[in-house]
A = this chain, B = another copy of it.
Amino acid sequence: MRTGAWLIGARGSVAVTSMIGALAVRAGLTGPTGCVLESPALRDRVRPGIGDLVFGGHDVTSVPLEKKAAQLAEAGVVPAALARAVQGDLAVIERDLRPVPAAPTQAATAAAVAADLDRFRREHGLDRVVVVNVSSTEPVPPPHPAHATLTALRAALDGPGPVLPPSALTAFAAFESGCPYVDFTPSTGARLPALAELALQRGLPYAGNDGKTGETLVKSVLAPMFAQRNLRVRTWSGVNLLGGGDGANLAEPGANAAKAASKQRVLAETLGYAPQGDTRIDYLEDLGDFKTAWDLVTFEGFLGTAMRMEFTWHGCDSALAAPLILDLTRLTAAAARTGRSGPLTDLAFFFKDPLGETSHGLAEQWRALCDLIDTLAPQAEG
């Protein structure tokens, strides 16, 4: 049941925190706090386990894992002692990290990506490789007619110009290579008709988009509370102050807009109407990997009485995201094993902008997850 976790953006904060964590949990140096599949309610239900994961991946940078680990320790994301303890194991993973292939046509690039995946699977004797996108958020790409059908897409990829943004090209390569695909970012990923067609053709599942780790997570439980109590939310405004590599990237207006929109969606979907207010994302280099979000909710109760709630969330984004990467890799691998294909809408629990027409309320997403796990559980395989 050895399973590959091929991370796009493998030298980034989320990726490296995932690796350090998996190695440390495996070595018994720390517990699996934050791993949903290791909570008392779900423990031992899903295989592969954390210990079955083998890491590899692509990145555009070549900063050594060891150096990144030291930075994460310095920044307080991982304990320095843990980072040191897994140094040797990180060096082993280092050998399976590759630069992002670049070829004259996107078809050729995809083929090179697929070749990297195949070699990784073969060399480690893996049952399956899950491709997980944890690279920098892309700007929203321009529409392209070839996105509509697989035939059109294949034809266009052979041409000279770029047809797919990197995240979608990776999804294409993953599917071609027989790998399920998870997109933890708000980028396009597998969300194009042509790619849905390909996944179905190959019988492969995919999951996404945009990991839900902070303010939106809180919204996904508070908004249903207001709805169930029939309290009228009048305004909901938020500000996210964040540093880190992701923060720097999101300071770009394009990426920022993509993210901010996906953060406010939960409200309209859960409440049934869109309250006034926006979510803002501001980059503050000095905050490092930590993020502070503040939200103000004004609402109206019986007879119009005006009331309000505010919350501040101060979280370490990579520490919140990394255990979910382990969960998602395991769940997607298990789903593939049981023959699931197409969008894994039952993984909405993990995402800000979940695939399919699913509830944005965390409680219903949790139930969908538990139901999915019932179908994945080892005994269910018999």
Q: Say yes or no: is A92 at the interface (Cβ < 8 Å to chain B).
A: no
Task: Tell me the complex Cα distance, A230–B292, Å.
Answer: 21
Asked if A222 and B218 sit within 8 Å, CB to CB, the answer is: yes
- B-side contacts of A77, CB under 8 Å: 303, 305
A78 to chain B, nearest CB (A): 5
The answer to the question of A205 belonging to the interface, with a C-beta cut-off of 8 Å to chain B, is no
A99 to chain B, nearest CB (A): 28
A265-294 CB contacts (< 8 Å) to partner B: 272, 276-278, 280, 282, 284-287, 292, 294
Most chain B beta carbons < 10 A, residue from A24, A272, A307, A314: A307
Q: Is the CB of A228 within 8 A of B308?
A: no
Residues of B within 8 Å of A305, CB to CB, are 76-78, 316, 319
Asked if A343 CB lies within 8 Å of chain B CBs, one says: no
Q: How far is the CB of A278 from chain B (nearest CB, A)?
A: 7
State the A residues within 8 Å of B (CB): 17, 20-21, 24, 30, 32-36, 38-41, 76-80, 82, 217-218, 220-222, 224-225, 227-232, 234-235, 237, 239, 241, 272, 276-278, 280, 282, 284-287, 292, 294, 296, 298, 300-305, 307-316, 319-320, 322-323, 349, 361-364, 366
Which 8 pairs between the two chains have the least Cβ-Cβ distance? A363-B363, A305-B319, A39-B230, A34-B302, A311-B311, A221-B221, A301-B319, A302-B323
